[in-house]
Amino acid sequence: MTRLLLLLLLAPVTLAGAYDRGELNELNDLYKNDRFEEALEGYNKIVAQEPANPWGWYNAGNALFRLNRTGPAVFHYARAFRLNPRDPNIRFNLEFALRQTGQALLPDGMPRALHYVYYLLSDMEIKAFAICLFWLACLAGAAGFLLDGAPSGAAASRTAVITAVMCLGCLGWLGARQNSPFAGAGVITKTGGARLLSGPGENFKACASAPEGLLVKVLDSIDDDYYEIGLPKEGVKGWALKTEVEKI
């Protein structure tokens, strides 16, 4: 079973949508020939040019995982997951990488099917649906008002109510997602983990540590050099260098 999981995780990378296919084929060949550093450099260029392309993040995550850079790999998989949570490869690799750091994608007691539905759409897709439904409700409501008394007016009014309820449902869904592990989150990417200080500066004492690859909550980012982060399970918070934490 473990061998099967590794084969799935380390399968050839997926092509990124709009990026030049010739260059991508070259990068994929580098990856398949175990030239992971060179492949990673190219995938990072995709990420820089197309930050909304989940496959750039996913492919870079694969290369990083093969280079035993667990923290950055988790970060890249998490970014890919936020952009395309439905894809089974992205979900599988994120879940696999999290398990290597003692974490889980599914909260305790949550059925896998419910978790899949919860992440069926990305945040941007939910926002887009909510905006479309809002304007559709407005247009249908206006049509119902103008055609008051006519059969078509009654149909327009019903449409306005239905789309308004659906819009509120999308907003509620989006609100619920703000409590997810990936909302306002970051990943410890420093090799060996990060020190948490009691304040933003080396003059403050170390109060805790966070292992590499750990998902954390970013509580404050105002300081130029430090994030205030929280470790929800441990109930601990402190300040870590921004170079040691990447915001998802």
Tens digits of per-residue pLDDT, 29-62? Answer: 999 999 999 999 999 999 999 999 999 999 999 9
CATH number at residue 197: 2.30.30.40
Q: Can you tell me the distance from the alpha carbon of 123 to that of 173, in angstroms, rounded to the nearest whole number?
A: 9
Residue 233 belongs to what H/E stretch? none
Asked if 142 and 171 sit in the same domain, the reply is: yes
Asked if 8 and 76 sit in the same domain, the reply is: yes
14 vs 4, residue with greater confidence? 14
In a domain, 115, yes or no: no
In a domain, 232, yes or no: yes
Mean pLDDT of all residues belonging to the chain: 89
Asked if 232 and 166 sit in the same domain, the reply is: no
Asked if 80 and 130 sit in the same domain, the reply is: no
Asked if 97 and 25 sit in the same domain, the reply is: yes
Q: Find the farthest-apart pair of alpha carbons in the chain and give their distance in angstroms, rounded.
A: 74
- Closest residue by Cα to residue 15 from 37, 46, 45: 46
In a domain, 118, yes or no: no
Residue 27 belongs to what H/E stretch? helix 21-32
In a domain, 194, yes or no: yes
Overall number of domains in the chain: 3
Asked if 169 and 197 sit in the same domain, the reply is: no
Asked if 163 and 194 sit in the same domain, the reply is: no
Asked if 97 and 157 sit in the same domain, the reply is: no
Residue-number span of the structural domain to which 164 is assigned: 123-177
2-6, 57-61, 133-137, 219-223: least confidently modelled range: 2-6
Asked if 65 and 137 sit in the same domain, the reply is: no
Residue 153: both structure tokens together: 């007016």
Asked if 63 and 142 sit in the same domain, the reply is: no
Q: Can you tell me the distance from the alpha carbon of 228 to that of 238, in angstroms, rounded to the nearest whole number?
A: 6
pLDDT tens digits, residue range 152-180?
888 999 999 999 999 999 999 999 888 88
CATH number at residue 58: 1.25.40.10
Indicate whether 141 pLDDT > 80. Answer: yes
In a domain, 160, yes or no: yes
Asked if 134 and 89 sit in the same domain, the reply is: no
Asked if 34 and 82 sit in the same domain, the reply is: yes
